[in-house]
Amino acid sequence: MKNAFLISLVIIIISACTGSGRQTVIPGPEKVRKTVYVIIDGVPADMIERLELPNIREIASRGCYARSYVGGTVGRYDQTPTISAVGYTDILTGTWVNKHNVPGNDNLEPNYNYWTLFRIAKEQEREVRTGLFSSWEDNRTVLIGEGKAETDSLRIDYVYDGYEKDYAAFPNKDFEMRIFDIDEFVSQKAAECIREEAPDMSWVYLWYTDDAGHIFGNGKNFDESVRLADIQIGRVWEAVKYREEHFDEEWLFIATTDHGRGYDGYHHGGQSLRERTTWVAVNQPVNERLSGGSSAATDINPTICRFMGFDVPRDIRWEQDGVSFYGGLDITDMEISPYDSTVILSWKCLDPEAEVSVWAAASNNFRNGCPDEWLPLGTVPASAGTFTADLTSLPPSDFYKFVLDTPDGSLNRWYDGVPEKYTTFKLQPEI
């Protein structure tokens, strides 16, 4: 017995010294999980891949770096402008513009029925402390809708924003460098707050890279702005590493962008490949959704929800257009094809053992804050890869929502997709 005890002790000491704490021989309580995601504005994937960006590289070395996309489905009901506030809201809600209703940067009326990450966090039974560190105040007051009746007056616990309105502290400079100064301040505050207070879920938003693109286009000045943004990301990343070293915490760290840019780097808003192509660097292991290249900005919300163990009401979850790239994944890449009086639903199977239950709704009351009647159509093995829905067996309608639900998440597509107003949305470059 004594020898066994000594051997155990030696193993524990060795594993502690070699830093292999994750394989410790004595199971401890689960670490407290926390998340921070950082958006640097308007940085195309090819720039991340071409430049030497040590912090983004280091984060990705722990988990994954992969290309992602914004813009919804080209030419379909969910096509979405590649514009800043639109991209932030794709991420916040896990939905495209046909649901979240943020088609530009100004005069916005977000549909708060599609809950943001901050609303989901506040609806948990346990207390979830949230943080927002942002160079643009509208992220809180408009997109998240802090304090509004429609968001059940949600509150954010740690807020550092609004500096863009403070011209005394951040005076005008050439090339909009005051925005860079604000990003510096915001990233410093984020690092300080995470180090000291460790909010459970935070969003850090940094703006200047987008200005640099608009002002300079492709070139060494734009490149330099991205290198500086990497240093700002590193500041926050260091705080996360400090927390993991000194506290019993495990962090999810996501760095990403809100849209790409046109071929010359000046503009964005349209559906060209470079405008649609974004990227994600993440410090946790990921599933095939991200590593396989089919991940979208709308995946970040369900990814954070899963990592954090958030309970998300079914009707909210079934409206989300993304799926988690963390944890298991049964099916992905849902497609919908009308065929006579049927609709053929198809998907890519990743777990042949999983069961897929198929649901349909002939209404979209959810948009107005009311429930839809979801009808079960059947259950098939994921390996089937397809399901044919007979529209004549459903309530007559020119609009249907279909959901494929599995133990690991859900996929959804609209049939017909009326209204199509956003597919003809006038795409304007951001000013």
Task: Summarize as ranges the residues that interact with Zn ion (CB under 5 A).
Answer: 41-42, 84, 210, 258
Report the half-sphere exposure of 7 (CA within 13 A, side-chain side).
Answer: 4
- 37/77 with CB nearer Zn ion: 37
- 206/345 with CB nearer Zn ion: 206
Peptide bond into 419 cis (omega under 30): yes
Sheet containing strand 130-134, edge to edge, reads 64-69, 277-282, 249-256, 32-40, 201-206, 130-134, 158-160
Nearest to 274 by CA among 254, 298, 257, 292: 257
| Sole residue written with tokens 């829905």 | 389
Q: Minimal distance in Å, beta carbon 273 to Zn ion? A: 17
| 192/170 Cα distance (integer angstroms) | 20
Q: Minimal distance in Å, beta carbon 230 to Zn ion? A: 17
Q: Minimal distance in Å, beta carbon 144 to Zn ion? A: 17
Q: Minimal distance in Å, beta carbon 232 to Zn ion? A: 16
Buried/exposed 216-239: b ≥16 CB within 10 Å, e otherwise: bbbeeebbebbebbbebbbbbbeb
| 431/83 Cα distance (integer angstroms) | 10
- 82/301 with CB nearer Zn ion: 82
Q: Are 230 and 43 in contact (CB under 8 A)?
A: no
Q: Are 36 and 194 in contact (CB under 8 A)?
A: yes
Q: Minimal distance in Å, beta carbon 319 to Zn ion? A: 24
- 84/130 with CB nearer Zn ion: 84
Q: Are 251 and 273 in contact (CB under 8 A)?
A: no
- 56/389 with CB nearer Zn ion: 56
Amino acid identity, position 356: V
- 210/230 with CB nearer Zn ion: 210
Q: Minimal distance in Å, beta carbon 88 to Zn ion? A: 8
- 84/271 with CB nearer Zn ion: 84
Amino acid identity, position 146: E
- Using CB atoms, what's the residue nearest to Zn ion? 84
What angle is formed at CA 140 by the lines to CA 424 and CA 37, rounded to 5 degrees?
85
Q: Minimal distance in Å, beta carbon 259 to Zn ion? A: 5
- 55/135 with CB nearer Zn ion: 135
Q: Minimal distance in Å, beta carbon 430 to Zn ion? A: 6
Q: What is the largest CA-CA distance in the chain?
A: 77
Q: Minimal distance in Å, beta carbon 326 to Zn ion? A: 25
* Residue 309 burial (CB count, 10 A): 10
Q: Is 174 helix (H, G, I), strand (E, B) or coil?
A: helix
- 122/276 with CB nearer Zn ion: 276
- 85/305 with CB nearer Zn ion: 85
Buried/exposed 67-105: b ≥16 CB within 10 Å, e otherwise: bbbbbbbeebbbbbbbbbbbbbbbbbbbbbbbbbbbbbb
End-to-end CA distance of the chain: 73
Q: Minimal distance in Å, beta carbon 337 to Zn ion? A: 33
- For 139, phi then psi, to 5°, come to -55, -40
Q: Minimal distance in Å, beta carbon 11 to Zn ion? A: 51
The DSSP string of 225-271 is HHHHHHHHHHHHHHHHHHHHHHSSEEEEEEEE-S----TTSS---S-
